[in-house]
Amino acid sequence: MVRLTRAEQQRRTHEHLLAAGREVFLRRGFIAATVEEIAADAGYTRGAVYKHFGGKEGLWLAIIEADAATHLRQLRDALAQATGRDDLIAALTPLGPAAEAAAKWSAAAAEVLAATAQQPETAPLIAALQQRHDEEVVALLTEHAQRLRLDPAMPLHQAVVMLGALGIGLALRHTIAPPADSAAILTHVLGTVFPTPVPRPGHASEDR
């Protein structure tokens, strides 16, 4: 066996705790999840969670920061392949297993917002991460809306906030009474944000 350096061992522990935290939060929600359960799933003691992340809230912050980077990379790739309005809307609409995971994660996120709203040491950190992510999404949508000659019906920074709130709301409803079709609802809302382009005189429709 190749002996790992201390730095490599620390990095592996960090990654294992991130993966275990993500699974436990998805399975149990943020409030019900415990540091002990997360540590046990990763194969460590609770002290490892505190050493690497300072606690459950710190672990959550690390997970959403890592997941935000992954989401932005996937969204960037999907939007780059979009050739029209329908493709752009599809890139913003998770389907299948991805939609189920997104719903569970959004429900956990709602718990975090409620649990940390009155925590002055944690709430600003979550707000800052969310703002950075929103700004990146707005920049991507602005770039590709212009490329595809789409004219958003509302400012994109407002649209991104609205879509995030809608996702959390649908996720919370899903935990009690699943909506008839969350994807259809999201697609309809996105369709109002990005209306079908009106063909200009002498030009074919851009949305083909």
pLDDT in tens, 156-185: 999 999 999 998 888 878 777 766 678 888
Residues of the chain above pLDDT 90, percent: 53
Angstrom CA distances, 55 to 58, 61, 122, 148, 193, stand at 5, 10, 11, 45, 39
Instruction: Tell me what the mean pLDDT of segment 30-53 comes to.
Output: 95
Residue 85 has pLDDT above 50, yes or no: yes
Q: Positive or negative CA dihedral for 118, 121, 122, 126?
A: positive
In three-state form (DSSP H/G/I as H, E/B as E, the rest C), the secondary structure along the chain is: CCCCCHHHHHHHHHHHHHHHHHHHHHHHCCCCCCHHHHHHHHCCCHHHHHHHHCCHHHHHHHHHHHHHHHHHHHHHHHHHCCCCHHHHHHHCCCCHHHHHHHHHHHHHHHHHHHHHCCCCCCHHHHHHHHHHHHHHHHHHHHHHHHHCCCCCCCCHHHHHHHHHHHHHHHHHHHHHCCCCCHHHHHHHHHHHHCCCCCCCCCCCCCCC
pLDDT of 84 strictly over 90: yes
Contacts of 173 (CB under 8 A, 6+ apart): 179
| pTM over 0.95, yes/no | no
- Lowest mean pLDDT across 53-57, 64-68, 117-121, 143-147: 117-121
Which pLDDT value is given to residue 2?
65
Mean pLDDT for 49-58 is 94
Task: Judge whether residue 49 has pLDDT over 50.
Answer: yes
First to last CA, the chain: 56
pLDDT digits (tens, 9 = 90+) for 100-127: 777 788 888 888 888 887 788 888 888 8
**CA distance linking residue 100 with residue 103, whole number of Å:** 5
Please state the rounded mean pLDDT for residues 128-149. Answer: 95
Query: What pLDDT was estimated at residue 194?
Result: 97
**Domains along the chain?**
1-54 (1.10.10.60), 61-193 (1.10.357)
